[in-house]
Amino acid sequence: MYFTMFLSSVGFTIVITSLWPYLEKIDDSANATFLGWIVAAYSLGQMVASPIFGLWSNHRPRREPLVCSIMINLSANIYYAYAYLPSTNNKYHMLMSRVFVGFGAGNVAVVRSYVAGATSLKERTSAMANMSACQALGFILGPALQACLSFIGENGITVRVIDLELNMYTAPALLAAIFGLINMLLVLLVLKEYRVDDHGRHVPAINEADDERVGITDETEESIDQAAVLTSNILFFVVMFIFAVFETISTPLSMDMFAWTRREAVFFNGIIICCIGFESILVFLVVKVASQRFGDRPVLLTGLVIIFCGFFILLPWGNHYPKIQWADLKNNSFLSKMSEVTVASNSSLEPTGCPYGQTWCQYTPAIHLAQYITSDVLIGVGYPACNVMSYTLYSKILGPKPQGVYMGWLTVSGSGARTLGPVFVSQVYTILGPRWAFSFICGIVVGAILLLSCLYHRLIAFSVRHGSIVEG
């Protein structure tokens, strides 16, 4: 299950930094707003699939939904690699491929429910942190592989037998498909079902001939604190929303503020995300110790405060303004002629800077590279802490019942956030600029901090609330 989460993470992040330049290359009609929909498409597919796979895993061996979801993911990555092939509407083919990749990624609900069911309450935080560390390793390796594959270039090579253009945009998706094939073989050949209760006592797993949940304590739905469940879902939604905003905006923001080319943006952001991944692994190690000493809730609260600081630092200030991309002005004959001369002298040159069509570029101060890097570091600390603590607390609140459906709903919350986040930021950023976008995010984080503070006493483990285990 750890390895499945690792490969799922690689499959997502391996293309994330190249989505925007690939979209620009295959369809001239696409803009930053449509990019938001493409990033959101992954999460929309995951949001639909998660409860389905979660319910399936509650009543059948988990191997079945896992193999099905991985097969969908593998096929969708191949579809993504061929999105350039149709003569029209390429951006919609790219959109649909990301929907199906996300649908296949609905298996994270199965993975989380398995880990929750295979660990005692005392082991849970450590196991969830390990799973998040594997996810972070995939988070590191994906952008790193994309950065390495960027040396293939935009043109790459053409494999005429299968009508494939193998370049810096299609190669990562094909590599993700290969990872999916490896993952499917491991699930079929290696995975064995195993369950324990909150005390660590073995519970018989569901066998293939019996749909009944054998050996599970017969607790009613009302015994679960639904207020705590709802609060946990809201907090997870916020955590995933703010990170979806961050990962969506990083490439367009860096191209606008630092006048990076498409290739530079893919390469440098790949390195930055890779470094954040390494940072996250260190955070997971610290989280395991900190949660044992201070508890899960204080770690979650601290992570939210750090995330707030990370986005607050990104607010523009000063008298330095971004370079304007004048090359897209069609009504200025002098600039058009100069652009033609420049392009003629160097056919590989592409316009860089903040597009003139984004009117805020003319009056909003530029974000400095130091601000960008500092924000990356802080978010790289706060996000992993909040991520692992939010669904660790959630699994403890649910107790010993099979958690497939509930984990499916948690994934729906995260997927909903990853759907709305990119759409929101692409709209607000394009129209109003970074000042409004990041101010709104800061407000959302403050709201999450207040919610956690108000419901702090309700976010306790099922067994602790019912008195079968004393909170340590």
pLDDT tens for each residue of 235-258: 989 988 888 788 778 888 888 888
- Residue 278: CATH number of its domain: 1.20.1250.20
Point out the least confidently predicted range of 290-304, 423-437, 457-471: 457-471
> Please, what is the average pLDDT of the chain?
79
Q: Domain range holding 106?
A: 2-203+223-321+364-465
Bridge-based pairing of strands 354-355 and 202-203 is: unpaired
Say if residues 233 and 409 touch (Cβ distance below 8 Å).
Answer: yes
pLDDT tens for each residue of 201-241: 666 655 444 443 444 444 444 477 788 888 988 998 998 88
Q: Which residues neighbour 356 within 8 Å (Cβ) at sequence distance 6 or greater? A: 324, 325, 326, 328, 329, 362
pLDDT tier at 451 (50, 70, 90 boundaries)?
Answer: very high
Q: Is residue 333 part of a domain?
A: no
Say if residues 23 and 30 touch (Cβ distance below 8 Å).
Answer: yes
Could you give phi then psi for residue 203, rounded to 5 degrees?
-125, 130
3 state SS of 332: coil
d(CA 460, CA 392): 11
pLDDT tens for each residue of 81-140: 998 888 888 889 999 999 998 888 888 888 888 887 787 777 777 787 788 778 777 777
Q: Is residue 176 part of a domain?
A: yes
Average pLDDT (10-38) is: 80
Q: Is residue 337 part of a domain?
A: no
Give the residue, 193 or 456, on which the prediction is more confident.
Answer: 456
**DSSP H helix total and E strand total for the chain:** 16, 6
Query: What is the reported pLDDT for 221?
Result: 47
d(CA 149, CA 466): 53
d(CA 459, CA 436): 33
Average pLDDT (262-276) is: 80
Residue carrying the six token digits 């959302």: 444
Say if residues 62 and 110 touch (Cβ distance below 8 Å).
Answer: yes
Say if residues 388 and 132 touch (Cβ distance below 8 Å).
Answer: yes
Dihedral sign, Cα of residue 359, residue 362, residue 363, residue 369: positive
* Tokens standing for residue 120: 């005692």
In the chain, the percentage of residues whose pLDDT exceeds 70 is 85
d(CA 290, CA 129): 12
Per-residue 3-state assignment (H helix, E strand, C coil) for 268-328: HHHHHHHHHHHHHHHHHHHHHHHHHHHCHHHHHHHHHHHHHHHHHHCCCCCCCCCCEEHHH
Provide the domain count of the chain: 1
d(CA 276, CA 247): 11
Q: Is residue 348 part of a domain?
A: no
3 state SS of 164: strand
